[in-house]
Structure 1
Amino acid sequence: MLRPAALSFALLCCHAAACASPLPDYPFVSASGKAEQWLAPDIGELQFDVVAQRRDGALALAEVEEASAALAAQFAAAGVDAADIDAFELGKKSVAVVAQAGEELAFSTAISRHFTVRVRDLRAWPDYIAALLAHKAVDNLGVAFDRVDRAQVEQRLLLEAAQNARRTAADLAQAFGRKPGAAVAISRTPPDKLGGAFGFAGAAAETAAARTPAARGNAVPAAIQFGQTVHAVFRLK
């Protein structure tokens, strides 16, 4: 027989365990819904650095300024609006030059400037890529594609994902002779506080970022992916 002190301690442990349980005190069903669509992009983005390296830092700076001005003029002549060209602050670093036997280690100065260019007319995209690849001062070239109506696309897919989650919950509940009621927890990603008890353990986080498939050469991809995922918990009727 437990003594009063031991009994109080046991009851306290049981109470703490009950309070710490992530399970709700009502029957529920959890489900996830996903919706995705591949759509043709209508806007692109070029990201690159203009770089020059010389032992004389002033010469490197002059080369970067000259190349930057030439590229900006080239994009403007091609019809890219100045507001769609972002030129960032200059970067500078010292680079060790490999010394010959018996020579002291020397250093050169590398000057760089990062550019982001938004391209709204993708018909000229291959020409832009070819010009940047051929330019000796351009380094770290990267590309991305998107749609100007991204917000509307994501909103529609979000509603479709939510409807899919409810249909899945209804199918699960019907298999046990129940029906899903009101949603009591909703999340685009698996809620950390709900964890495995709500069926979300180990689920990968979904984002609505567009995924760009590989394109041949300098071509614009035929389509990019948009997607939304919804996780929900429904009270069972």
Structure 2
Amino acid sequence: MFKPLVVALALVLLPFAAQASNLPDYPFIHTTGEGFAMIAPDMGEIDFDITAYNADPAAAAAAVAERAAQVQALMVEGESSASLRDTRKEMRTAEADYAVRSSVHIVVRELGKWRPLMQALLALPNVDHLSTTFGRKDREKVEQELTASAVKDAQRRAEAMAAGFGKKVGAVNAISSGQLRNLTNAVGLMPGDLYYRSNRTVDAAPADKDYLAIEALRWSQTVDVIFRIK
């Protein structure tokens, strides 16, 4: 009777033992630091669909091609560029016609041209599902600066905790960083993130969104650090 009980207890305690074995075998403090900055963007991106409806699919495709040519005509070398992709045709049974749609992606490298370009796009017919986002050309440099700020923040937090117990912070034994976060997107001011939308799709934006406005970036970088306790 006792043997099965011992085996059962061992099985129950096994996960806790495994978890404890993953902890450092020395006194330590684990802290998370954050670096945050509000930054003016120096580039932007625009995503939208060109959609045409017609009982004749060839006529709908021709309308999409015409609108795409108008979009390309708005581009200026060195300042903006447009690419079209994912052209698709769909039969709408209820409407007895075809929908031909093509996704457009525009990169604006000179934000001084943002407003007139956006005004021209908004004036075009057949444009829907418009989405905009902003970023920085020197993103890696900004990310390094935010990481350095996050490390200092983690150090400050660790020292405050150690001081509360009359201890001091020792050497760093482990550190890891999270992904750069765009908090502008997190609070709903922007429909997408410039750098981490790996499979970009066109999002429906709020009806009251001001497409002519250029939003400041709110970027955050976090680090997790394990310090020894002296």
Q: Does 2:201 align with 1:208? A: no
Q: Does 2:66 align with 1:66? A: yes
Instruction: Please show how residues 89-104 of structure 1 align to structure 2 within 5 Å.
Output: 89-98=86-95
Kept in 1, the 8 Å contact 2:80–2:110? The answer is: no
Which residue number corresponds to residue 19 of structure 1? 18
Which residue number corresponds to residue 52 of structure 2? 52
The change in CA–CA distance for 1:144 and 1:217 in structure 2 (over 3 A counts) is closer
Instruction: Please show how residues 137-176 of structure 1 align to structure 2 within 5 Å.
Output: 137-176=126-165
Which residue number corresponds to residue 176 of structure 2? 187
Kept in 1, the 8 Å contact 2:115–2:212? The answer is: yes
Uncovered stretches (5+) of structure 2, i.e. residues with no partner: 191-208
Kept in 2, the 8 Å contact 1:146–1:210? The answer is: no
The change in CA–CA distance for 1:111 and 1:216 in structure 2 (over 3 A counts) is closer
Counterparts of 1:162 and 1:12 in 2: how far apart (Å)?
A: 41
Range that drifts further, 21-30 or 168-177: 21-30
Among all aligned residue pairs of Structure 1 and Structure 2, give the percentage whose two residues are the same amino acid. 33
Which residue number corresponds to residue 88 of structure 1? 85
Uncovered stretches (5+) of structure 1, i.e. residues with no partner: 99-106, 190-205
Instruction: Indicate the SS of the match to 1:114.
Output: strand
- Calculate the TM-score normalised by the size of structure 2: 0.79
**1:72-120: CA deviations, max 9, x gaps?**
0122xxx24498322113111122335xxxxxxxx21111111111111
Q: Which runs of 4+ in 1 moved over 6 A?
A: none
Counterparts of 1:182 and 1:234 in 2: how far apart (Å)?
A: 6
Alignment: residue pair count: 207
- Calculate the TM-score normalised by the size of structure 1: 0.76
Instruction: Indicate the SS of the match to 2:44.
Output: strand
Counterparts of 2:32 and 2:4 in 1: how far apart (Å)?
A: 45
Instruction: Indicate the SS of the match to 2:226.
Output: strand
Kept in 1, the 8 Å contact 2:83–2:106? The answer is: yes
Kept in 2, the 8 Å contact 1:80–1:119? The answer is: no
**1:6-51: CA deviations, max 9, x gaps?**
6964884597342332543322111111111111111111111111
The change in CA–CA distance for 1:46 and 1:10 in structure 2 (over 3 A counts) is closer
Which residue number corresponds to residue 38 of structure 2? 38
Aligned amino acid, residue 132 of structure 1: L
Which residue number corresponds to residue 104 of structure 1? none
Counterparts of 1:41 and 1:82 in 2: how far apart (Å)?
A: 15
Kept in 2, the 8 Å contact 1:173–1:236? The answer is: yes
**1:143-176: CA deviations, max 9, x gaps?**
1111111110011110110111011101101110
Counterparts of 1:130 and 1:69 in 2: how far apart (Å)?
A: 17
Which residue number corresponds to residue 103 of structure 1? none
Counterparts of 2:49 and 2:9 in 1: how far apart (Å)?
A: 66
The change in CA–CA distance for 1:43 and 1:210 in structure 2 (over 3 A counts) is farther
The change in CA–CA distance for 1:55 and 1:172 in structure 2 (over 3 A counts) is same
